[in-house]
Amino acid sequence: MKVVYTDVLVIGGGLAGLRVAIGARRRGHDAIVLSLVPPKRSHSAAAQGGMQASLANVTKGQGDNEDVHFEDTVKGSDWGADQQVVRMFVNTAPKAVRELAAWGVPWSRVRQGDRQVIINGEQVTITERAAAHGLVAQRDFGGTRKWRTCYVSDGTGHAMLFAVGDRAIAEGIPVHERTEALALIHDGKRCYGAIVRDLITGELTAYVARATAIATGGAGRVYRVTTNVVICEGIGAALALETGIVPLGNMEAVQFHPTGIIPAGILMTEGCRGDGGLLRDVNGHRFMPDYEPEKKELASRDVVSRRMEEHIRQGNGAKSRFGEHLWLDITLLGRKHIEHNLREVKEICQYFLGIDPADQWIPVRPAQHYTMGGVRTDHTGQTPTLRGLFAAGEAACWDMHGFNRLGGNSVAETVVAGMIVGEFIADFIESPEGELDIPTAVLRDALEAERGKLDVLLKGSGREQADTLKAEMQQTMTDNVGIFRTGADLQRAVDKLQELLVRSRNIGLRSRRDGPNPELVTAYRVQKMIKIALCVAQGALTRTESRGAHFREDFPRRNDAEWLQRTLATWNDPLATLPTLNYEALDVHRMELPPGWRGYGNKDYVDHPDTPQRAAAVAKLREAATDAGRHAVQAALMPYDHLLPASLRGRNERIDEKLPT
């Protein structure tokens, strides 16, 4: 039996995983990163538009701070988020941008003086301050009250991933490329690492670690139409689920991005609309102001996507052989702006649509984009039920996005969570709990169990084809668990997925070599993916309300009285065909921002019985502390500073908020 020992095993080589590993390494611990692909090819690179951090450098960002970012994020989440975690996040995001600046990310910078921008379809002159010249610039994004999204042209994720990837190399962190974790090693209480398959040779190895972190990104590929790259299959979440004791949080909370291109589903960044691009219908009519007079194209993504689908249903979609769609018009931004700030957009239009977006409109329709749910953890990133198992980034649900994530908050979360969880993992390792004491029999049993499963696939007599099951699952999800959901559709999806799950236990392979065998990989992954899809569909079926991206036509109101709850899905019995759902209530009395209207979207919701009381208490506390300044107000409402690692506490400097020297 081949065994590899390390302090920290990080599963996933995107931004979150790499930053976790760097954090642990800087505290003096060894870390190994497992990655399906060379880490710089991870989905993090696809984050084009930018990263939210309240630096308030640009004129349109003046007055921005952690408080505004916090409110935007909680409203965006439709009050599903853990508000303390949101506070930790918004306070760390500026530090993350500044760290990345020091590591070499070529952030686009503010140039003092006048510049022409497009706001609400009109050309406007903005004057940038001399005091901001050369500092990191921000652009506008959906669901935000200030220009807060820091960016590198429209290659933000790429630039961040390369800087962090190269920093990991500088720290000497080994990345075991083309390896895949098949199962976690655990004894029901403590996680000891993972059984890992080499995707080139097929060899299995037991990786034994004092702490294990899942940072495998989202599960977009359980849908047919998604912006996600082909490796975002939810496998990390499935590893946790298959332990039988680690819950996944809010898997029914799935974001659909308004502007995926037709038919490939490739993302057109929100920066297109942030920079002034418009949505138009078959008649060329700009329709978003009809629905959302306040935020128009820049309401939150769940709202814009629903309005688009609604508009198509009313017969206003443009027709094409790939189905109906709407138009994204960025021609008004001008060629210079597009070739400078939206160049990846231009390349994608050129190569995949054969159009020039400076002259022609882009055919778009909402596509699956983001998995708000994931491995349920506490604010340190650790799962409460399996000690030593952590999660970070899109794979995790610690839960800063609730039922809808704001644009620019995910790539920000990757590095922020990496910074925070990396420190807590180091703390864990340095604590008595971090000691490792594992009988080799546990390793051998875990490895042999996985060997056995692979042998059944490679040598067995199953008759089902893995590709077919995968395609049927993806079609089922896209048809029935999309933007508009109903009980009947969701039940149909659950029934079909259960059937597929049973069939997936009888897969037979046409290609029986071990080693680089893509059919084998599809086979063992699809068995996991169908379970993830079931968590999404069953969670959605059971949640009889509408919140954020989860919209039930048969229950269109947000219902705080019954559903201010986080869904927890576990898979208790390996032979079950459904997850077990439990619920965790969110405590209104501990909220800094009690539930209310988001400022866009549906105004009609059912209050939680505690909300009026908490709202009155908050108003009173605000009034009492208001003279002491915004930090005192915040501390009176919901203290969070003590939750952060010591090295990440403290205020952030801005041009208009100097720190004492």
Partner 1 sequence: MNSVTDSAPPRAANPPADAPQRMLHFHVLRHDPQDPVSIPHFDVFELEEAPGMTLFIALNVIREQLDPSLAFDFVCRAGICGSCGMVVNGRPGLACRTLTQDLPAEISLAPLPAFELIADLSVNTGKWMRGMSERLETWVHSLGQEVDLARLEARMDPELADRIYELDRCIECGCCVAACGTARMREDFMGAVGLNKIARFALDPRDHRNDEDFYELVGNDDGVFGCMTLLGCHDVCPKQLPLQTQIAFLRRKMVKAGL
**Catalytic positions:** 257, 273
Name which position in 11, 33, 182, 231 contacts partner 1 (CB under 8 A): 231
Among 335, 336, 505, 513, binds partner 1 (CB under 8 A): 513
Q: What are the percentages of helix, strand and coil residues in the chain, rounded to 5?
A: 40, 20, 40
* Smallest distance, partner 1 to C-beta of residue 196, A: 16
> Between residues 282 and 617, which has the closer beta carbon with respect to partner 1?
282
Tell me how far, at minimum, the Cβ of 378 lies from partner 1, in Å: 24
**Segment near partner 1 (CB under 8 A); pick from 209-217, 243-251, 358-366, 564-572:** 358-366
Other beta carbons within 10 angstroms of residue 602's beta carbon come to: 15
Nearer to partner 1, 38 or 556 (CB): 38
The amino acid sitting at 415 is V
Out of 4, 117, 126, 355, name the contact with partner 1 by CB under 8 A: 355
Q: Which of residues 573-632 bind partner 1 (CB under 8 A)?
A: none
Cβ-count burial of 230 within 10 angstroms (0-12 exposed, 13-18 middle, 19+ buried)?
exposed
Q: Is 295 helix (H, G, I), strand (E, B) or coil?
A: coil
Sign of CA pseudo-dihedral 615, 620, 623, 629: negative
Please list every residue from 25 through 44 that binds partner 1, using CB under 8 A.
37-43
What lies within 8 Å, CB to CB, of 661 at 6+ separation is none
- What is the token pair recorded at 541? 């079926």
Distance CA 211, CA 388 (A): 5
Letter string b/e over residues 343-382, b meaning 16 or more CB atoms within 10 A of that residue's CB: ebbbebbeeebeeebbeebbbbbbbbbbbbbbbbbebbbb
Instruction: Pick the piece of the chain touching partner 1 (CB under 8 A) from 237-245, 324-332, 371-379, 477-485.
Output: 324-332
Kindly tell me which of 95 and 630 has the beta carbon lying closer to partner 1.
Answer: 95
**Token digits for 203?**
């060899």
Nearest to 543 by CA among 247, 584, 551, 371: 551
Give whichever of 221 and 543 is closer to partner 1, judged by the CB atom: 221
374-376 and 565-570 as β-strands: parallel, antiparallel, unpaired? unpaired
Among 507, 509, 526, 593, binds partner 1 (CB under 8 A): 509
Whole-number minimum distance, CB 624 to partner 1, in Å? 28
CB 509 within 8 A of CB 519: yes
Q: Compare residues 97 and 251 and give the one whose CB is closer to partner 1.
A: 97
Query: Residues 4, 67, 101, 451: which binds partner 1 (CB under 8 A)?
Result: 101
Which 276-305 residues touch partner 1, going by CB under 8 A?
Answer: 278, 280, 282-286, 289
Q: Coil, helix or strand for 519?
A: helix
Q: How far is the CB of 472 from partner 1 (least distance, A)?
A: 13
Please state the closest distance from residue 557 (CB atom) to partner 1, in A: 31
Choose between 470 and 528: whose C-beta lies nearer to partner 1: 470
Q: Which is nearer to partner 1, 158 or 552 (CB)?
A: 158
Q: Which of 533, 530, 538, 527 is nearest to 582 (CA)?
A: 538
Phi/psi at 123 (nearest 5 deg)? -80, 130
| Residue number, 282 or 606, with CB nearest to partner 1 | 282
Interface residue with partner 1 among 352, 554, 616, 620 (CB under 8 A) is 352
Query: Which residue of 63, 323, 439, 516 would you call a contact of partner 1, by CB under 8 A?
Result: 516
Q: What angle do CA 321, 322, 328 make, to 5 degrees?
A: 110
CB of 214 to partner 1, least distance (A): 19
Shortest separation between residue 499's beta carbon and partner 1, angstroms: 21
Smallest separation (angstroms) from partner 1 to the CB of 43: 7
Q: Which of 287, 341, 277, 295 is nearest to 311 (CA)?
A: 287
> How many binding residues for partner 1 (CB under 8 A)?
102
Look-up: residue for tokens 């050129």?
350
**CA–CA distance, 197 with 36 (Å, rounded to integer):** 10
Q: What is the smallest separation between the CB atom of 533 and partner 1, expressed in angstroms?
A: 19
Q: Compute the least distance from the CB of residue 49 to partner 1, in Å.
A: 13
* Closest to partner 1 by CB, 106 or 556: 106
Task: Determine if 483 is a binding residue for partner 1 (CB under 8 A).
Answer: no
The burial class, CB within 10 Å (0-12 / 13-18 / 19+), for 588 is buried
Q: Which of residues 112-141 bind partner 1 (CB under 8 A)?
A: 120-122, 133-137
> Taking CB under 8 A as the rule, which mask of x and - marks residues 304-323 in contact with partner 1?
--------------x-xxx-
Query: Which SS3 state, helix, strand or coil, does residue 369 take?
Result: strand
Q: Can you tell me the distance from the alpha carbon of 403 to that of 245, in angstroms, rounded to the nearest whole number? A: 23
Among 28, 63, 104, 612, binds partner 1 (CB under 8 A): 104
Residue 217 in contact with residue 43, Cβ under 8 Å?
yes
**Residues in region 538-577 near partner 1 by CB under 8 A:** none
Mask for 81-100, x = binds partner 1 (CB under 8 A): -------------xx-xxx-
CB of 398 to partner 1, least distance (A): 21
Question: Which residue number, 304 or 328, has a Cβ lying nearer to partner 1?
Answer: 328
Any idea of the CA torsion for 384, 13, 221, 251, to the nearest 10 degrees? 20
Region binding partner 1 by CB under 8 A among candidate stretches 275-283, 390-398, 482-490, 568-576: 275-283
The candidate with the shortest Cα–Cα distance to 497, out of 180, 183, 251, 232, is: 251
How many whole angstroms from its chain centre is CA 654? Answer: 28
Q: Let me know if 244 is exposed, middle or buried by CB neighbors in 10 A (0-12, 13-18, 19+).
A: middle
Residues 138-197 binding partner 1 (CB under 8 A) are: 152-153, 155, 158-159, 162-163, 166-167, 169-170, 175, 177-178
Task: Report, in Å, the least distance between residue 549 CB and partner 1.
Answer: 23
Closer of 321 and 642 to partner 1 (Cβ): 321
* Residue placing its CB nearer to partner 1 in the complex, 204 or 248: 204
Site for partner 1, residues 634 to 653, rule: CB under 8 A: 650-653
Q: How far is CA 482 from CA 70, 475, 485, in A?
A: 28, 11, 6
Q: Segment 241-270, which members bind partner 1 (CB under 8 A)?
A: 263-264, 266-267
Peptide bond connecting 399 to the previous residue in cis, omega within 30 degrees of 0: yes
Q: How far apart are CA 113 and CA 189, in angstroms?
A: 60
